[in-house]
Amino acid sequence: MIRRLIALRWLMILGPVVFVAALSYAAYFYLPAFFPLPILYTLVVLTAAAALLYAHFLNDSWAAHEREITQHQRELTALNRVGTAASSSLELTDILSRVLDAVLELTHAGAGRVWLVEADSSSLKNVVHRGLFPEAFEEPTVLKLGEGTAGQVAATAQAKGIPDLNGETNPEFAPLRAKGFVQFASVPLVAKDRVVGVVEIAARHSGDLASSSLDLLTSIGREVGLAIENAHLYEAARVRQAEAESLYKAGIDVSSKLDLAQVLNTVTERGRALLNVDAAALCLWDAQERWLVVGSKSGPAEAFESPGSLGRRVAQRIGVLRVDVAHQGEDCLTCALIRGPFRRTHVEIPVRVADQVIGCLCVSSARPRTFGDREVQVLGGLADQAAIAIQNARAFDRASNTAISIERERLAREMHDTLAQVLGFVNTKSQAARELLEQNRVDEAHEQIDQLISLSQELYADVREVILGLRTAISPEKSLLPALAGYVESYSKQSGIDTRLVVEDGAGEIRFAPAVELQLIRIVQESLTNIRKHARADHAIVRFSRIDGHAEMRIEDDGHGFDPGRIARGDWPQFGLQTMRERAESVGGAFVVVSQPGVGAQIIVQIPLSYAGGR
């Protein structure tokens, strides 16, 4: 274009000059021989006039090219400014406001608004206004595709300009005429051959919206359409990320529970929050898999049927069911738990483990709305996580029952062995006392009876310790350290041995599964019992710390100590070392005894921290 203009300019300058010079030369040297002077002068005048006309033609061409360049530069500048405004943000409302401001400044129009095509592609929504008299652009807020000027432009993808609003009889433009607007343009916003919105501009001065402006707005509409598409993609990605994070947090929350009731309550609460609904319920098959029974519910009490009117049966079938504004054909008769007024929109998702359905998760809302496919997928993801957590809670419950049975058997075995030895000792001493009394050896008989009295006192202390130990329980509300603190305090008062629990820095937050914590408590109890019986100690410390990837429990005393290598297997009571070792190893721990005569003893148990966090 620039080269063409340069060539045209030189042609305008040199063309007439060369032509007149050639004509003058010919008129002076050659033409008089052929033409009389009057004819010659006439030819010169006509030729000069033709040269002037040619120069005028070239000048008009030059001016047209200049206008073309100016228009092109204006369009480039406008597109650049609009592109800068559109790329300055990824928030859709912010993009549209900035773009509309730039368009109004470029066209010198007074006001404008932007319509966006709704997700269902059947209607337009009035989303942004900039410029004068916002009240003239507030209505309507929604248009169906093909309705009104904006709807027609969106349906046809063709821009429409109205050069004189005063000649329009369409009542749609009455509010604009009342505010002094005289010109109007409506342009589609296009992305990938698909209309995503419409921009409308109104001017208060004739000529602001000429045909060239309409062409410029059409070009701008294509660029803005791409910006809108990018903003939609960004928003969709942000929503998906937020949903994934919410679902991840919900999964962490659900999977951290091992109590079935807590799992079910967490699932319904999370499901209600994820989809922003009024009520949620989770029902599970009964033991015979005949009826679905209520496992948990979340929402206002008035949203649910009372247990008396409900009975046990709450559902007749299980399958993915969606009842909302966009899915009115579905029949929501499967759920009898959530009352009708709260079931205007409703989604049911089966809770499956592999191919086996174990229950049903339902969410309902009292207000009309549409559940998108993505929301149904999120609820399905929560149902999948719920199924795993439910199975884990049930397995943990079975394992806990098994662990309780094993613990009872172990305690029974220990008590049986101890009682058997004690009763044998009592029997021996009783017979010896009777024989000594028959032989009238009273003093010796008293010694035997004193030994029996001492043994009975020791047994009484043992029984009290057993009862104290059995009362020290692990529960979801009371973990290892609180349980140990209570036991150590009671033991110190009961035994008369100054005993303290010391928790080192960094160890206070360590948690293990209840089965592991129970074994640690039993080891501490057995160690302290041995200290009372055999160590003759004045002080004892139970120390809990974190060392090299392990949690360490160390029970120390200042008693007379012993040589662990010289304890025979048959010696009574063997200090319970074998039992403590079995307990530690049963939960993947290491057991060490450090002691020597005269310097006290240490019982050390280490559990890998990889076992932590199992509550």
Radius of gyration of the chain (CA): 47
94-236 against 476-615: fold identical: no
The arithmetic mean of pLDDT across residues 154-166, rounded, is 90
Nearest to 202 by CA among 150, 147, 125: 150
User: Which DSSP string do the residues of 106-135 spell out, in sequence order?
Assistant: HHT-SEEEEEEE-TTSSEEEEEEEEES-GG
Task: Determine the pLDDT at residue 479.
Answer: 75
Q: What torsion do the CA atoms of 467, 470, 475, 481 make, to the nearest 10 degrees?
A: 80
- CA distances to 378, 470, 488, 494 from 464, in Å: 55, 10, 14, 9
Query: Which structure tokens are listed for 384?
Result: 């999948």
Higher-pLDDT residue of 278, 396: 278
CATH homologous superfamily of 94-236 equals GAF domain (3.30.450.40)
Reported as a single tens digit per residue, the pLDDT across 570-580 is 444 455 788 88
Domain map of the chain by residue range? 2-82, 94-236, 256-386, 476-615
Reported as a single tens digit per residue, the pLDDT across 59-118 is 666 666 666 666 556 665 666 666 676 667 778 888 888 888 888 887 888 999 999 998
Query: Which structure tokens are listed for 256?
Result: 């951290």
Name the E strands within 83-233: 111-117, 123-131, 142-144, 160-162, 183-191, 194-203
Task: Determine the pLDDT at residue 332.
Answer: 40
Reported as a single tens digit per residue, the pLDDT across 188-207 is 999 888 999 999 999 998 87
* CATH class as words, domain 476-615: alpha beta
**Given pLDDT bands bounded at 50, 70 and 90, which one contains residue 228?**
confident
The burial of 237, by beta-carbon neighbours within 10 Å (0-12 exposed, 13-18 middle, 19 or more buried), is given as exposed
- The bridge status of strand 590-595 relative to strand 601-608 is antiparallel
Higher-pLDDT residue of 331, 83: 83
Residue 304: pLDDT over 70:
yes
Q: Residues 142-153, buried b or exposed e (16+ Cβ, 10 A)?
A: ebebebbbbbbb
Q: Distance between CA atoms of 268 and 280, rounded to whole angstroms?
A: 5
CA atoms within 13 A on the CB side of 176: 30
Per the CB < 8 A criterion, the answer to whether 551 and 516 are in contact is: no
Second CATH level (architecture) for the domain 256-386:
2-Layer Sandwich (3.30)
Higher-pLDDT residue of 39, 498: 498
Q: What torsion do the CA atoms of 264, 265, 270, 271 make, to the nearest 10 degrees?
A: 60
Q: Does the predicted model carry a pTM greater than 0.85? A: no
**Given pLDDT bands bounded at 50, 70 and 90, which one contains residue 472?**
low
The arithmetic mean of pLDDT across residues 352-360, rounded, is 82
Query: Which structure tokens are listed for 365?
Result: 């809302």
What is the distance, to the nearest Å, from the Cα of residue 125 to the centroid of all Cα atoms in its chain? 29
